[in-house]
Structure 1
Amino acid sequence: MRIERAGPGDGDALWSVLRPAIRAGDTYALPPDVTRADALAYWGDPAHEVWIASGDLGSYYLRANQRGNGDHVCNAAFATRPAARGQGVARAMLDHALGRARGRGFAAMQFNFVVASNVRALAIWRDYGFDIVGRVPHAFRHPQRGPTDALILHRFL
């Protein structure tokens, strides 16, 4: 699988990945009706290093989780196109992200807000050695399940 740095011409491909994930409203703490421009501005924030898998199968971004004395821990977010789920796209992107994080000198990776009902993502993160280090009760308003916990995951690199 090809994973390449996203560039200015990748807006349509990124939106094709992000749109279904955001519109579903069940994994990202973004307004489900966010505009294309606002979603792309969020994902492509200048502090984010954005990558795209095989054109439009998935995308992730990598960034320092905090500034200053917290900038040795990175954060990442992942989205996979619905038709590509279960085909190893998320795992390939996570492998790539962990390599990039190590290459950039980060000491650890942390996920700040994983919806507890996102069992597919949680299974992958556990397989890669991430530990649940925190739980925020009812931090997410799931459209079907109602108030749902958010989890904080961490792994040393």
Structure 2
Amino acid sequence: MTRAGEGIRIRTATDADWPAIHPFFAAIVAAGETYAYPSDLTSDAARELWLGQGHVVVALDASGRVLGSATMGANRPGRGAHIATASFMVDPVAAGRGVGRALGEHVIAWAADAGYRGIQFNAVVETNAAAVHLWRSLGFEIIGTVPGAFDHPTHGYVGLHVMYRAL
């Protein structure tokens, strides 16, 4: 378990964490502003999507309440397996408390320790200003944007940034 800042601890997720993750996972997906996941995912399908791939962690407050989660692993198999990727979700009630930064810093350290040469985020919604700002502050740069690749419920078709950080 790692300490990640003011009262935030990060540890490997277990199946027992899903009941705490699923409510904010479902709310974030339903909002349709940051993830291109299908809005009609069952809890079991969402669980497999989030917990069933790569290494997954949860961020906890001092009382042990799950505030957010990240899933990480190789961006591509085979000859692309030296570049990591990750996805992040923070419970909206914990926004602004440093949870995303703590998870981001954890992923960077994890990927470096695991021997990855860099981290690539494949789909950061360009209108997600908080995420773009956070990733830039952690050393990621926008290396390209796919125009109109995300159907935002308010802004219509907006771009998806590909962001990268060397390790």
TM over 0.5: yes
Give the counterpart letter for 1:22 in structure 2. Answer: V
1:5 aligned onto 2:15 = no
Structure 1 residue aligned with 2:146, among 116, 136, 142?
136
Please identify runs of 4+ aligned residues in structure 1 that moved more than 6 A. none
Deviation string 1:35-74 (CA, Å, 9 cap, x unpaired) is: 21111110112x4101011031000011100011110000
Distance 2:116 2:24 in 1: 27
Using structure 1 for the length normalisation, give the TM-score: 0.96
- Say which of 18, 26, 29 aligns to 2:25: 18
Q: Percent identical across equivalent pairs?
A: 38
Residue 80 (structure 1) aligned with residue 90 (structure 2)? yes
Instruction: Indicate conservation of the 8 Å contact 1:16/1:56, yes or no.
Output: no
1:93 aligns with 2:110: no
Matched, 1:34 2:41: yes
Match of 1:65 in 2: 75
Structure 2: 5+ residue runs without aligned partners? 1-7
Report the equivalent of 1:122.
132
1:53 aligns with 2:59: yes
Task: Please give the per-residue CA displacement for 1:55-100, whole angstroms capped at 9, x wherever unaligned.
Answer: 3100001110001111000000000000101110000011111111
Cα distance in 2 for partners of 1:79, 1:30 equals: 13
TM-score by structure 2 length?
0.91
Question: Secondary structure in 2 aligned to 1:26?
Answer: coil
Partner of 2:124: helix, strand, or coil?
strand
